[in-house]
Structures are given as structure tokens and as C-alpha cells.
A and B are shown apart, each in its own frame.
Chain A
Amino acid sequence: MLIIAILAVPLAMTLVAAAFAWRAWIGWASAASSATFLGLGIWLSVRTLSAPQWALHHSLRADSLSAFMVVVIGTVSLLATLFTPRTMRQEISSGVTTARYARHYVVLMQVFITCMLVAVLTANLGVLWVSIEATTIATTFLVSHRRTDGAFEASWKYVILCSVGIALAFLGTVLIYYAQLHASGSAHSASLDWTSVMSLAPHLDPNVTRLAFALLVVGYGTKVGLVPMHSWLPDAHSQAPAPVSALMSGVLLSVAFYALLRFRAVAEAALGPAFPRALLLVVGIASLLLATLMLIAQRDLKRMLAYSSIEHMGLLALGAAVASPLAIAAVLLHVLGHGITKSVLFLSSGEIYSLEGTTEMDKISGLLARRPTLAGIFGFAVLSLVALPPFSLFVSELTMARAEVDAGLWWVVVISLVCLSVIFAALASHTRTMLMGAGAESVAPTSSPASITVPLIGALVACVALGAFSWPLQSLLLHAAQVVIP
């Protein structure tokens, strides 16, 4: 019942947004809808601590991992939808968009959010694929929302690359199903259903499973933004409106990563830990190195944030490679911390863009003198992003490093530390020129409206709270980690 309610809320909001012409209240209603299913998600998390929940004849299923992902989706959508009225008002008044496209935008946002919720709440690994693919369709239009050449190019690249990538994931899913059919011996007990896949997983044919998992890593890895199929990500994230970038970077990547976590468990049960670990280490380290190189000389603010997402997804892959309960719990905490931090950064960079008319970092300077609150939020969010204490990313990265050392992967820790230090220096110097810098003496400081600063500051406080007291989440995180450890 609870699961159905969680899906019904954004679905109802989609219908409302489709039925009425764009007004500011629709934007606020969509924020209220996000807040509602976030609340229901927290309730669901509590319920799943005792047992997994089912709905609709066992086609929907929520264990602690799903419930945690609902909370992540809810938190980031709440932030993103709170900015919808403002973003639309600015875009309509500056002639970037019209009321008609504002309506499309709100509807597509809700479809996008609903698809992500279905992805984490379905019991079936095939439906998981369908809903992740459906997010591609909704977000393509959101990326091209501004209808500029750059936006069309970005969405073209996005839809081609992601469709191709995710086709591989479908082939991988089909091969798992084939192995499952063979292991069960009859067509009726095989159904791609999570519980039945996991119960048969130790008997899956190793050759087929190996190929399937490799296809799944490359396929879902495309949506996660992992090397080698990452090249859509900086374009799409830099061209989309800020709330869309926040949602894509903050949760869509993690939802695709959630699929990888599930299939990793299947692969580990069938093949033992060595093969999935090797594969995840390779893509994780490659992504980390690529992001480091691209961040050093980055000139565009939103592309910088996009490459930082590739970096963090690489870190998640390394954590998942270790796959001890501690490592997976840290990965999940990292997903939440990164989701919140990255949304704050994308949303405030949207504000910076509307203020400065550019996202080229060379052309932005002295922000701290002109917009002290906004610049302060941005600065602290960058500190959170580079994982300084007391923010939660510090805790999760430290825990992942500890889990990696425990697993004997100290060389992974060394490589990550080197990359993270370089990234720290790069981000610090880029941010410093934007926030400090000369050229703004004559302008009196103006304050940003509370409607944007309050949610952003609240989100940063949440990151600190998560870092300082992860105890409310600890049992949920460890419980969720157990789901994907066979």
C-alpha cells in the first residue's frame, strides 16, 4: 500500500501538471509532491528494516536498499522542484521559454521522477531496465528544453549514446534470464524477478554470467557516466536547465548505479567476488583518472560539476568493487551526500548563470563581494564536494578507504588519494577565482531571495548533520548493504 502511494503521488502530479496551463502554483505543488513521497519514503525505510514490502501481486517490492533510494530521489527532487517556479519565471521573462514549454517541462520532470521511483521499487530486473531506459526519453526533452544549438546537440548525443549503451544492458539482462532458465530447468520459475534470480544465482552458468555482467557494467555504466561511455555526460549536464542537471547528476546516475549494485550481487553469487571486483576496479579507476585530468584545465562551471560527477561515480564503483558490508554502506551514504551536494552546486550555478549570463569561469569573478550569500553557499558546497570534514562525503570517502584497506586494496586507496588531492587543488583554484578575484569594487552587495537561499543552506546543513551523526541512518545503510551481498 505504502509503495503504491509513493508511486501515486508523482503520477497524480504528472496528471495535474498536464491538465493545467503553467502557473507558479503548479511549481509549488510539484515541490509538495516531492516532499510527500520523501516522507512516505522515510516511513517505508522504517518498515523495510523488519521485512521487505510487496505490492501489486508481487510486481513491486521494496527492501531497505529500494527504500533508501526512494529517500535519495525524494531529497534531491525536493531541492530541484523547489527551484522550478523561479527557474520558469526567469526563463519566461527573459524569453528563453514560453508558458507552453514550461508546462512540458513540469510534466516531463514528474515523468522523470516517476520513472526513477519505478526503477527502484520494481521487483523485476527487466522492468528495472525498462524504467531506466524510459528516464532517457523524458530527460532528452529536458536537456533540449532551452532549444539552442548546444542543447539540441547535447540531447542528440545523450539519446544516441545512452540508447546504445543501455541496449547492451538489455542484452546482459537477457543473458542472465537465459542462464536463469537453464538453471531452473523450466520456463515458469524463471522470471527475472529479484528474489528468484537471487535464489538461483549460485547455479547460473559462469560463462554466460561473466559475459552478461560485462555487458551490464558497460551498459548501465553508460547511464552512470562511467568510462568508456561517459562522453554524453558533460554536454547534457552543462546544457540542461539547472534543476534538471541537479536531478540527473544527483540521482539519475545513482539510480543506474543501483542497478549495477543489484547485478553485482548476482554476479558475485554465480562467479565469486574476483571477477566483478576486477571489472568494477577497472571502470572505477579509469573514470577517476579521466575526471581528474578533465578537471585540471576545466573552464566551464557546469562542465566542471559534470566531470566531478564522473569522479564521484568512479569512487562509487571502487567502493562497490570491495563489496564488504561496510563498503556498500559507505557507497550508499556517498550516494546521498553526493546527491545533495551536487544539487546545491548545480542549483546555485543556475543562479550564477542567470546573474552573470555565462558559465565560463574566467568571466566570473568577485562573486563574494556582489552576492555574499550565494557565493558563500557555493563555496561551502565546493568544500563539501571535495570531502572536507564535517561534511558527509568526508565520512563516506574515509569509510570506503578503510574498507578498501581491509580488503587489501591499498593501491586503490593510494590512487584515489592522489586523484582526490589533485581534484581538490583544481576545484579550489577554480572556485577561488570565481568567488574572490578583482573587478567588482564598485558594486554594492545584493542579497539573494530567501526562497532560494533557505533550501540550499538547509541542504548543506543536512550534509553536515549526515556527516556528524550518521546514526539515524546507520542501521538502514547496513541493512540495505546486506541486500546486495549474497
Chain B
Amino acid sequence: MTSTYIATLELAAGAVLLSAVMTLWRRGVRSIVSMLSLQGVALAAVAMVLGRHEHENALLVTGVLVLVVKGLVVPTLLRRVSRLDPRSRESRPLVNVPASLVFAAALIVLAYVVGTRITALSPTSATHLAPLGLATVLVGYFMLVTRRRAVSKIVGLILVDNGIALVTFLLTSGVPLIVELGSSLDVLLVVVVLQFLMVSMRRHSDTDRLTEMKALHD
């Protein structure tokens, strides 16, 4: 029982990081969004496995919420945007794909260096996996900084958020339910806001010029 629990947890947490790295590797928006969807499902699995193991109903509820929001709703929204925007393929990232993957490896090492200090406080099989979440956060930041397209920036933001959610589940078995609900709702709203902005910007003028953020300066 315990070994199955640990194995499932490791598998799901590993899948979260793996799908984050895959988003750096793939260029087409459709496959990137599939990766995000996979990540949402893996994240929900982490919450549910932990919830079942620790008999925390709140965590099971959170798991269902994560599954719906991050596994289903957010990817669907992104897919709709990418259909609207034929040029959303990331054709010229600031750092090319092979170099990005090398950076990702370095970031994972960094996450482990920082993470072990945190997990030393209460070493359990769940907290040991927390560096995977930190690594996902760092990969998300890397994506935000080095990718130019609007969709890629949204994906980076979602990666950061999923990474933080993973850390939250693994370290604390979830923050209080009200906070969890609030933060999931906020993330969903941010994605909706970004979508709205992309759509309105396209109606007005060249989205890419705007999202590269060049017009306003001192």
C-alpha cells in the first residue's frame, strides 16, 4: 500500500515537471497545450493521491477542482485562442530549443539545491518531491522570459502557477480550502483576462508588436 502510494506520487509529480520541460521542447501551440493539459491531470492526481493517503477530504475536493480548471478549462481556452491566431507558433524564441533544454536541466539542479533546505524541516516521502515543483516554477519563469509570443507567455505563467500548486500540495497537503479555491479562481480569471486582451489587441492592431512591449517606454 505505502509503496504504491509513493510510486504513484512520484510518477504524478515527475509528470508535472516532465510536461513543463516538454513545453520548452515543442513549438506548435497545439502540442504545448496538450502538455499543459497533461500537467493539470498529473497535478490533480498528486492532490488526490495525497488526499486519499492522509484522509483529507478538502484535498480530494481540491483535486477535482484542479482537474476541471487546469486539466480541462484552461487548455480549452488556450486552444480556442491558438485557433484564432494562426501565427502563434513560437518561431524565434530568444533562446533556441536545445539551449533551452540545457538551461532547464540547470534550473532543475538549482531547484534541488534550494529545495533540500526546505524539505530538511520535515522529511517525508511527499516533501522530498517538492523540488520538482520548484523546478517547474523556474522552467515557467524561463519560458516567460525567453519566449516572445503572447500565447507562450500565458503558458509560462500557467507553468509557474502549476509549479507553486505542486509545492503547496507536497509540502503542506494543501493550504486551507478557501485559499485554494480563491487562488484557483484567480488563475482562471487571469487566463480569461489575458485572452480578452489578446483578442482585443488583435482587433486593434498587430498583437506581436504589442506583446513585445515596445511602444511604451521612457
Contacts and interface: CB of A to CB of B under 8 A. Distances in A.
Interface of A: 124, 126-127, 129-131, 133-134, 136-137, 140-141, 144, 147-150, 152-157, 159-160, 163-164, 167, 170-171, 173-175, 177-179, 181-182, 187, 191-192, 205, 207-208, 211, 234-235, 238-239, 294, 297-298, 303
A384 B182 CA distance: 39
Contacts of B173: 187
Contacts of B213: 153, 156-157
23 contacts: A129-B183, A130-B182, A130-B186, A133-B182, A134-B182, A137-B190, A147-B204, A152-B210, A153-B211, A156-B210, A159-B197, A160-B144, A160-B157, A171-B164, A174-B164, A174-B172, A181-B122, A192-B179, A207-B117, A207-B120, A207-B121, A208-B121, A298-B218
A126 B120 contact: no
B175 A177 contact: yes
A149 B212 CA distance: 12
A140 B160 contact: no
Contacts of A235: 216
Interface in B168-188: 168, 171-173, 175-176, 178-179, 182-183, 185-186
Contacts of A211: 114, 117-118
Per DSSP, chain A at the interface is: helix
A294 B189 CA distance: 33
A156 B189 contact: no
A192 B210 CA distance: 39
Given A124-B179, A192-B179, A136 B190 contact: yes
Most buried by A among B120, B172, B173, B216: B216
A323 B217 CA distance: 35
Nearest to A236: B216
A133 B210 CA distance: 24
Interface in B73-95: none
Contacts of A192: 175-176, 179
A381 B197 CA distance: 35
Given A140-B193, A156-B201, A294 B218 contact: yes
B13 to A, nearest CB: 16
A156 B179 contact: no
Interface residues of B, number: 44
A430 B215 CA distance: 23
B129 interface: no
Contacts of A164: 141, 144, 157, 160
A179 B211 contact: no
B197 A174 contact: no
Contacts of B183: 126, 129-130, 133, 170
A126 B179 contact: yes
Given A208-B118, A238-B216, A149 B210 contact: yes
Given A153-B215, A167-B157, 13 more contacts: A124-B178, A126-B179, A126-B183, A127-B178, A130-B185, A140-B193, A149-B201, A149-B210, A160-B194, A167-B164, A177-B172, A179-B121, A187-B173
B161 interface: yes
Interface in B132-161: 137, 141, 144, 150, 153, 157, 160-161
B49 interface: no
A127 B216 CA distance: 33
4 smallest beta-carbon distances between A and B, as pairs: A126-B179, A130-B182, A235-B216, A178-B171
B153 A207 contact: no
B4 interface: no
A178 B205 CA distance: 46
B200 interface: yes
A25 B136 CA distance: 50
Contacts of A154: 216
B21 interface: no
Given A137-B186, A191-B176, A159 B118 contact: no
A126 B176 contact: yes
A153 B218 contact: no
Given A159-B193, A174-B164, A129 B114 contact: no
Contacts of B44: none
B137 A171 contact: yes
Contacts of B114: 211
B35 interface: no
A147 B200 contact: yes
A131 B179 CA distance: 10
Nearest to B154: A160
A234 B186 contact: no
Given A130-B183, A141-B193, A234-B218, A152 B178 contact: no
A68 B73 CA distance: 40
A145 to B, nearest CB: 12
